[in-house]
Amino acid sequence: MIWNYKELFIRGIWVTLALTLVGYIGGIMLGLLIGLGKLSKKKWIYYPSKYYVDFFRGTPLLVQILLIHLAVIPTIFGQSLGYFVSGATALMLNCAAYNAEIIRAGIQSIDKGQMEAARSLGMPHKLAMRHIILPQALRRMIPPFGNELIALLKDSSLVTVIAANDLLYAGKIVAGAYNRFWEPYITVAVLYLFLTFLFTRVIAYTEKRFSNSYVPRQRRRMFTFGRPTGGSS
């Protein structure tokens, strides 16, 4: 039964992955801008950023998806641009709000002495942010970004309501065709679990790669070599 529809499920996996990744990457870039906006002292930057986050965190994603698909996009473009554009846009805008908070908190967690040192060396604020603060802050953001990725993967199932043929949609089709619910939805659940498992592994690897020490592995070895005072292992 499920096997007959395997292509639908495989396509569902790709659609789910594509929606998640497009939404996520767009969400990080937009989130960075909004996160920095929330740290701005300029009111005309701060307040729009704040209201953006308040709106997208304060309203259900499902409502946002419907609003964008049925109201915003048809109004701007005069027609629907398809479920993918609407879905990815909604996920991106929503994800950006959460990422903005992660980015704001990450930046604020960096000791203020870092910014002071950079500024005292004559670096303008932007330059210091880019070369000194963000590289350090981004590392600290990796675990919450990982959570966000997995949350987004699961939330992407909501685009089913605008008839996106994602993973959940495949399950619904099969359920409708056979009027059975256990098999299709268990399959969907297992496939989501499989995807989140994959993501978890990637995140764990990334976390490990960027945690603890700033010292690159090879170079560390070079320094403990023959000079015990050089490295603090």
Interface residues toward other proteins, by CB under 8 A: 111, 113-114, 116-124, 127, 131-132, 135-136, 139, 213-215, 219-220, 222-223, 227, 230-232
Quote the CA–CA distance of 142 and 99 in Å, as a whole number: 11
- Nearest approach, Cβ of 127 to other proteins (angstroms)? 6
Minimum distance between the CB of residue 212 and other proteins, rounded to whole angstroms? 10
Q: Specify the residue, 39 or 67, whose C-beta has the smaller distance to other proteins.
A: 39
**Of residues 133 and 191, the one with the C-beta less far from other proteins:** 133
Distance in Å, CB of 109 to other proteins, minimum: 13
Select 75 or 217, whichever has its Cβ closest to other proteins: 217
End-to-end CA distance of the chain: 57
Give the nearer residue to other proteins in terms of CB position, either 42 or 219. Answer: 219
- Give CA–CA dist 205/167, Å, rounded: 26
- Please identify which residue in the block is written with the tokens 């906006």: 37
Closest distance of CB 28 from other proteins, Å? 19
Q: Which of 211, 214, 233 is nearest to 222 (CA)?
A: 233
The runs of H, that is alpha helices, within 121-181 are 125-128, 134-155, 167-178
How far apart, in whole angstroms, are the C-alpha atoms of residue 154 and residue 168?
Answer: 10
Nearer to other proteins, 199 or 210 (CB): 210
Q: Is 87 exposed, middle or buried (0-12, 13-18, 19+ CB in 10 A)?
A: buried
Q: How far is the CB of 69 from other proteins (least distance, A)?
A: 42
> Two tokens at 218?
């090879």
